[in-house]
Amino acid sequence: GAGVSQTPSNKVTEKGKYVELRCDPISGHTALYWYRQSLGQGPEFLIYFQGTGAADDSGLPNDRFFAVRPEGSVSTLKIQRTERGDSAVYLCASSLHVQETQYFGPGTRLLVL
């Protein structure tokens, strides 16, 4: 079946603006993760959903970041009042269950000018 998909693939915005990044997990996968990857670094964990609820949001850097998964499938990562330091690749991953291997989407490349 189809893999994890993310839209948009690229997003350029201005400092202070609001952005939404979307993730479509693999069909049937109950666990969904968001990570952020800066150039030359490994991905950093942001938030994890089991079903509709955010089971662990300990990786969110501050309260400008928020994510939802209202129907237990598609998830949206929302960033308010963007800052230049938010520029990174935002990766989404899903797994069949929480103990299973995580499969990553292609990422959204966010550039804040």
Partner 1 sequence: GQNIDQPTEMTATEGAIVQINCTYQTSGFNGLFWYQQHAGEAPTFLSYNVLDGLEEKGRFSSFLSRSKGYSYLLLKELQMKDSASYLCAVSKGSARQLTFGSGTQLTVLP
CB of 62 to partner 1, least distance (A): 18
Identify which of residues 12 and 55 has a Cβ nearer to partner 1 in the complex.
55
Task: Return residues touching partner 1 (CB under 8 A).
Answer: 4, 31, 33, 35, 40-45, 48, 50, 55-56, 59, 91, 95, 98-99, 101-107
CA nearest neighbour of 7 among 25, 33, 29, 30: 25
Element (H, E) at 35: strand 31-37
CB of 45 to partner 1, least distance (A): 4
For residue 86, the SS3 value is: helix
Identify which of residues 73 and 95 has a Cβ nearer to partner 1 in the complex.
95
CA nearest neighbour of 81 among 2, 3, 14, 25: 14
